[in-house]
């Protein structure tokens, strides 16, 4: 019977079932929040201690501030460590700014999933 020999072709690169990456309950989100919190601590202004808004540095040291917080310190000195500042014009660190945007998106995400998690226990 010619039509009956159907070779069973096994595809070698068949996708394996992906491991479930779902967060295992509320604990996982607590970890995410803690990690986000640590990240946000790195993105705080050295002067007002809030999350940086339009981050700038003054050139002489590694402190980073909101552009508003150091507009009076440009070309003088760092308000924290008093290193002479050689930056004369505010130059916003766009890379850092992007990170801060991402962080706030992440925070919203985590916050949302926390809220929707309540339905599980209804």
| Positions in the binding site for Zn ion (CB under 5 A) | 45, 47-48, 61, 63, 66, 69, 78, 80-81, 83
Rounded to a whole number of angstroms, the minimum distance from the CB of residue 52 to Zn ion is 7
Task: Give CA 11 to chain center in angstroms.
Answer: 39
Contacts of 114 by beta carbon, 8 Å cutoff, 6+ apart: 26, 29
The closest residue (CB) to Zn ion is 45
Of residues 98 and 117, the one with the C-beta less far from Zn ion = 98
Shortest Å distance, C-beta 33 to Zn ion: 23
Residue 111 Cβ vs Zn ion, minimum distance, rounded to whole Å: 23
């Amino acid at each position: 019977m010619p039509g009956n020999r159907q070779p069973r072709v096994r595809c070698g690169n068949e996708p394996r079932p992906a491991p479930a990456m779902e967060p295992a309950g509320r604990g996982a989100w607590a970890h995410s929040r803690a990690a986000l919190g640590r990240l946000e601590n790195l993105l705080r202004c050295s002067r007002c201690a809030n999350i940086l808004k339009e981050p700038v540095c003054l050139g002489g040291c590694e402190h980073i501030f909101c552009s508003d917080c150091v507009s009076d310190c440009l070309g003088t000195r760092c308000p924290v460590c008093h290193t002479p500042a050689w930056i004369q014009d505010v130059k916003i660190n766009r890379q850092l700014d992007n990170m801060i945007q991402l962080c706030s998106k992440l925070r919203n995400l985590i916050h949302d999933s926390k809220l929707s998690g309540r339905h599980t226990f209804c």
